Amino acid sequence: MPPSRSSVVLRASDLRLELGGRTVLDGLSLEAGRGRITALLGPNGAGKTTFIRCCTGLLRPDAGEVRIDGEPVRAALARGRVGVMPQDSGAWSGIRPLEMLRHLAGLHASPLPVDALAERLGLHDFAGTAYRRLSGGQKQAVNLAGALVGRPELVFLDEPTAGMDPHTRRAVWELLRELRAAGVSVLLTTHAMGEAEELADQVHIVDAGRVRLSGTVAELAGQGDSLEDVFLRHTTARIRP
Ligand SMILES: Nc1ncnc2c1ncn2[C@@H]1O[C@H](COP(=O)(O)OP(=O)(O)OP(=O)(O)O)[C@@H](O)[C@H]1O
């Protein structure tokens, strides 16, 4: 019998990181549940993308550690079961969406069928267009497909639906619910409170490089407070009205 696996798929402990002389992660600790959707909310510059970069091996924290399935990040990445959708993947400039997906699929042992994934995310409509000429929302859809094509067990999605129209956004929500039902763990960032309310099993509110508040939407909101009210109360405005 395989060893029973913990219900925690990702554990970040006391992450600290300075970049350009300023503290970006300031003791950030959180857990993400296996087969759950975990949402990170936080103001611009709170450290969400930096956190994802630490979880995906693009940055190494000065102190603290991230463990995925109990292993250091690099070991987990080497198994190829982690997917990531960055906020910006400008590296793909001239490639067409399906070429890119086929290329990425070729890097994985048992990828999803590219055509079915492309169909699901509406990529065939712009299959012949170079990545750099796609609209913002189209690039997002391609980036999401790229994160999923390797059939990850844990996927990091940095603002996955930013710039998407409501039809596409709802299709993505549906897809993420299906992934969760299939046991995939999702960690996403969003500025859309409605997205967190729709999808998240667990929410972490991050400000100035640390987690200020964690809980389910029902635990955080309620008693007349919306999730946005709670967010505004526990985070710092970057721009004063
Ligand atoms: N390589 C770097 N050098 C210097 N500062 C950096 C670097 N990378 C990120 N930062 C700074 O770290 C802070 C956190 O950035 P990060 O991108 O993690 O924020 P975020 O929470 O994802 O914000 P947003 O919601 O706007 O995407 C910002 O102030 C940013 O300017």
ipTM: 0.97
Whole-number pLDDT of residue 3: 52
Helices (H), 94-185: 97-105, 114-120, 136-148, 166-181
Bridging pattern class, strands 154-158 and 82-85: parallel
Least confident of 84-98, 118-132, 221-235: 84-98
Domain ranges of the chain: 1-81+154-159+186-236
Confirm or reject: Cβ of 59 under 6 Å from ligand 1.
no
Ligand 1 centroid from CA 49, angstroms: 7
Q: What is the pLDDT of residue 241?
A: 62
Q: Is the separation of the CB atoms in 116 and 124 below 8 Å?
A: no
- Which residue lies with its CA nearest to atom 18 of ligand 1? 47
Q: DSSP state, 62?
A: S
CATH number of 1-81+154-159+186-236: 3.40.50.300
For residues 183-208, average pLDDT: 97
Query: 118 near 127, Cβ under 8 Å?
Result: yes
Q: Is the CB of 86 under 6 A from ligand 1?
A: no
**In degrees rounded to 5, what are phi and psi of residue 225?**
-95, 135
Residues paired with residue 52 on neighbouring β-strands, in sequence order: none
